[in-house]
Amino acid sequence: MKEIKNQRGFALIEFAIALPLLILLLHVLGSVSLSAWKISREQVADYVLETEAQEVIERITTDARAAYEITIKKNGQRVIFMCHTQTTDKLLTFENVQDTRIYDVHTPKNDVYSHVYFKHTDDEKNYTSPITGKSSYGETFIKRLEFSALTKNVLHITLEMDNKVTGQMVKLSTAVFAPACPKIIDTRYPDND
């Protein structure tokens, strides 16, 4: 009993000061943690947005460099690349095939947002697939994808993408030289046809 009396514990005044301080600190920590979570979510979403925008530009420029015929359609929102590729059959003989690659902005029936679709057609395959808006982290959509002929064999590309999560927008503009294409056809200008 004597030992218990000699032990020192919290005084009421210590507790009265420490408890509000602890509550204040926990509030600050909670706010910062929430902010950090929001920022990390936005970071991932913006990263996905940038990556998808970069991927669209890189795929289009890579195909443009290989194309021997480039046609701009649908008021500048669709581009068609005609390329030559080689395939092998079971006998391992090489065969030249015509390869058509189409990049297009399309809004699916059950969606209000537009995405970039890639349509690939050759003698063996024919498929269409979206190349943006696939990531569950990013939730991106296309605001604008426009093609134009800067010179007779330089294709200009403007891409505007938005992020549904953060509202962040990325606008990228670039151009690509198509060495194998003698003249880019833009259907908006009839004299080019």
Partner 1 sequence: MTRSGVFAAVMKHQNERGFMLLSAVFLTLIVSTAAMILMNVQAKVQQRDSTLYLTAINLANEQFAILESRAAENNLTNGSYNFLGESDLKSLNGVKEDSPPVVFNIKTTVSGDDTLKKVKITVNWDIKNTPPIEFEKIIATHKETVNEGD
Size of the site for partner 1 (CB under 8 A): 41
Among 23, 39, 41, 137, binds partner 1 (CB under 8 A): 39
- By the 8 A CB rule, do 73 and 185 touch? no
Judged by CB under 8 A, does residue 53 bind partner 1? yes
Name which of 66, 130, 143, 70 is nearest 104 in CA terms. 130
Residue 64 neighbours by CB under 8 Å, 6+ apart: 70, 79, 81, 155, 176, 178, 181
Which residue's CB is nearer to partner 1, number 47 or number 108? 47
Rounded CA separation 165/142 (Å): 14
Stretch that binds partner 1, among 46-54, 108-116, 119-127, 131-139 (CB under 8 A): 46-54
Name which of 69, 72, 71 is nearest 82 in CA terms. 69
Which residue's CB is nearer to partner 1, number 53 or number 79? 53
Which residue's CB is nearer to partner 1, number 80 or number 159? 159
Rounded CA separation 31/41 (Å): 15
What is the per-residue DSSP string for 122-150? -SS-EEEEE-SS--TTT-EEEEEEEEEEE
Judged by CB under 8 A, does residue 135 bind partner 1? no
Distances in Å between the Cα of 151 and the Cα atoms of 63, 66, 178, 188 are 18, 17, 10, 15
Among 16, 54, 85, 123, binds partner 1 (CB under 8 A): 54
Binding mask 5-24 for partner 1 (x = CB under 8 A): -------------x--xx--
Judged by CB under 8 A, does residue 131 bind partner 1? no
- Which residue ranges make up the site for partner 1 (CB under 8 A)? 18, 21-22, 25-26, 28-29, 32-33, 35-36, 39-40, 43, 46, 50, 53-54, 57, 61, 68, 84, 148, 150-151, 153-154, 156, 158, 169-177, 179-180, 182
